[in-house]
Amino acid sequence: MKKDLSIPSDIGNLRLVEKAIDELSMELGLSDEVYGNIMVATMEATNNAIIHGNNSDPDKNVKIEILFLNRELVVHIEDQGTGFDHSIVPDPTAPENIEKIDGRGIFLMEQLSDEIMYLEDGRIVELKFRV
């Protein structure tokens, strides 16, 4: 089973990603917990691709591929930006960052997915979930 989306970098298009995950969840009969993990992690990754990767430029697209194979769901999110180094992103649980209202997306993605990979200098985030 595979779903492919390509959306212009407009935050309003997140609803299309949400709809695709809802449909997939119903098709696969995912538990509420797994569904929630996939939804939050995928939305965070897509949001980051739109805002940080593509600088909210509607002329740039974010590609989302969702593949289910062998009881594993793989979500591949790719932007058209220059990438980033995930290893230097500040820890949102550090005392100096606790009060900040942003900077938790990558932390959430890492906590909610079973595996995460950053490819192409961070332009691609691949999330894996065992279902």
pTM of the model: 0.92
| Domains of the chain from N-terminus onward | 2-130 (3.30.565.10)
Average pLDDT value for residue range 102-125: 93
Read off φ and ψ for residue 92, nearest 5 degrees.
-70, -10
41-55 tens-digit pLDDT: 999 999 999 999 999
Structure tokens at 109: 């993605």
pLDDT at 89: 83
pLDDT at 100: 78
80-111 tens-digit pLDDT: 999 998 888 877 778 887 787 777 889 999 99
